[in-house]
Amino acid sequence: MNDFDFLAGDWDVANRWRMDFLDEKSEWEEFPAVGRASRHFEGAASFDEIEFPTKGFAGLTLRLYDPAREEWSLYWASRRTGTLFPPVVGRFTGGRGEFYGDDAHAGKEIRARFVWSDITADSARWEQAFSVDGEKTWVTNWIMELTRR
């Protein structure tokens, strides 16, 4: 249940996202962010807030561990919309976390995947990908490279 303990603290975040989240040929845009994460419930919960100063928005993530199912539920909320998005659910295996959930983007039903990888004491990588064909193919559309402040 302590999988997200590494995230506690302050982070500089280098972001790249596709201009069109559903088009794998879409151009990438790069922009900075600053994040702060905290650990709760003896490691069974994690909370972070992230600011995207050049984009003019912010968001937060609440992560909750279910010990009976041995899996995490990750909930994202955006300051722009005031909306709590449906969770992605999954677990860590061998230092890599994969989390899946159903959502909608640009009027289309999508399957979302978040991947946490390359985790060290001072860095980590997060990726988001969407599938519109039942997980046959994925478009990676947002990558964050975190560096501890």
User: Domain limits of the chain?
Assistant: 5-148
Model-level pTM? 0.94
Whether the predicted pLDDT of 31 surpasses 90? yes
With cut-offs at 50, 70 and 90, classify the pLDDT of residue 54.
Answer: very high
17: which 2 tokens?
A: 């996202």
The letter for the amino acid at 146 is: L
Q: Is the pLDDT of residue 72 over 90?
A: yes
112-118: list long-range contacts, CB under 8 Å, 24+ apart.
112/88, 113/88, 113/138, 114/74, 114/88, 114/90, 116/92
Cα four-point dihedral sign 18, 14, 41, 65: positive
Residue 130: beta bridge partners? 112, 139
Question: With 90 as the cut, is the pLDDT of residue 82 above it?
Answer: no
pLDDT score at 17? 97
Does the domain made of 5-148 have the CATH classification 2.40.128.20?
Answer: yes
pLDDT tens per residue, range 104-148: 999 999 999 999 999 999 999 999 999 999 999 999 999 999 999
Q: What mean pLDDT comes out for the span 36-51? A: 97
